[in-house]
């Protein structure tokens, strides 16, 4: 009897077991603001115990026919335009939002930023700038690979570079880091008309990419692309759930250079 195939399968079993995730909906269904859809998912591994045996992911979904992205500049150098994420969202009539892309020690944006038509920084390279989130001149939202972007084609009014990609073409991106679990924010696209902003508890990039590409994560809408935003202490998340429910507000622990807002396309 040839034992090699059996031994090969046994050797793969622990890795397959480690990759299993249990995904449960804690809050799901339409928001009291019927134009958006707020979800909270609880993520765990079979047999896990302890402080991080289960972790949460908050999501707000919207249709590009109704909403688009708006980049909000929070000020350069020593100046801060908004006291909080919530203040920035309310000032710009955003129904939802999060922190934005990475920034340098002097609060200059890392890579290109376009906020309300004003360009700051320069189009950059590197893994943390591999993606482009934008709203075009026609107010269409996009999540693009850096190599797909052309200013003349898309004519952006609002744009921020970030990265890395977590999911592309419906599968987890290879080579994501398995170290440094931390709180993370990200943006999703189902490949059609639906986008989402998300905030997670502490995961590595590899774990988050694996979870978001899992068919059980969002059975009603497969994740086509997922782009990581600035995470850790920069992570923030806001959802206005309407007059009959309190807003969801998670403020960044530190000042950030820009915010991503979700605004009506035809206010």
The whole-angstrom distance between residue 258's C-alpha and the CA centroid of its chain comes to 14
Q: How far is CA 252 from each of CA 31, 84, 172, 202, 235, rounded to the nearest angstrom? A: 23, 8, 27, 14, 5
215 vs 170: CA distance, rounded Å: 9
Tens-digit pLDDT profile for residues 38-73: 999 999 987 666 656 799 999 999 999 999 999 999
60 vs 39: CA distance, rounded Å: 6
Between 15-24, 89-98, 115-124, the lowest mean confidence (pLDDT) is in: 15-24
Q: How far is CA 55 from each of CA 38, 70, 202, 225, rounded to the nearest angstrom? A: 17, 29, 7, 22
Exposure letters 75-91 (e unless 16+ CB within 10 A, then b): eeeeeeebebbbebbee
Tens-digit pLDDT profile for residues 161-202: 999 999 999 999 999 999 999 999 999 999 999 999 999 999
Q: Is the pLDDT of residue 4 over 80?
A: no
pLDDT of residue 12: 43
Domain residue ranges in the chain: 59-264
Tens-digit pLDDT profile for residues 106-137: 999 999 999 989 999 999 999 999 999 999 98
84 vs 240: CA distance, rounded Å: 15
Q: Is the dihedral of CA 72, 94, 88, 90 positive or negative?
A: positive
pLDDT of residue 8: 43
Rounded to the nearest integer, the mean pLDDT of the chain is 89
Does this model's pTM top 0.85? My answer is: yes
120 vs 113: CA distance, rounded Å: 5
75 vs 69: CA distance, rounded Å: 19
Both tokens assigned to 125: 């390279």
234 vs 183: CA distance, rounded Å: 9
- Residue 153 host element (H or E): helix 151-154
53 Cβ partners below 8 Å, 6+ apart?
Answer: 44, 45
Tens-digit pLDDT profile for residues 216-244: 999 888 999 999 999 999 999 999 988 87
Q: Is the pLDDT of residue 204 over 60?
A: yes
With beta carbons less than 8 A apart as the criterion, state whether 77 and 106 touch: yes
The residue ranking higher by pLDDT, 35 or 191, is 191
């Amino acid at each position: 009897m040839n034992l090699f195939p059996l031994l090969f399968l046994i050797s793969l079993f622990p890795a397959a077991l480690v990759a299993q995730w249990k995904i449960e909906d804690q809050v799901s269904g339409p928001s009291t603001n019927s134009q958006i859809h707020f979800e909270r998912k609880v993520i765990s591994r079979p047999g896990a115990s302890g402080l991080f045996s289960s972790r949460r992911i908050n999501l707000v979904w919207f249709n590009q026919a109704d909403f688009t992205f708006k980049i909000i500049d929070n000020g350069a150098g020593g100046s801060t335009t908004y006291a909080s994420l919530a203040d920035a969202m309310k000032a710009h009539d955003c129904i939802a939002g999060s922190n934005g892309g990475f920034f340098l020690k002097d609060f200059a944006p890392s890579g290109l930023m376009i906020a309300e038509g004003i360009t700051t920084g320069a189009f950059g390279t590197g893994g943390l700038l591999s993606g482009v989130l934008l709203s075009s001149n026609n107010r269409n939202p996009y999540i693009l690979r850096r190599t797909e972007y052309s200013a003349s084609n898309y004519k952006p009014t609002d744009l921020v570079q970030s990265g890395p990609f977590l999911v592309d073409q419906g599968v987890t991106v290879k080579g994501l880091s398995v170290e440094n679990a931390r709180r993370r924010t990200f943006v999703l696209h189902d490949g059609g008309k639906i986008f989402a902003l998300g905030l997670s508890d502490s995961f590595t990039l590899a774990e988050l990419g694996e979870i978001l590409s899992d068919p059980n994560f969002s059975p009603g809408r497969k994740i086509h692309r997922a782009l990581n935003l600035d995470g850790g202490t920069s992570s923030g998340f806001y959802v206005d759930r309407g007059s009959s429910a309190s807003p969801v507000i998670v403020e960044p622990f530190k000042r950030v250079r820009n915010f991503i807002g979700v605004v009506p396309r035809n206010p």
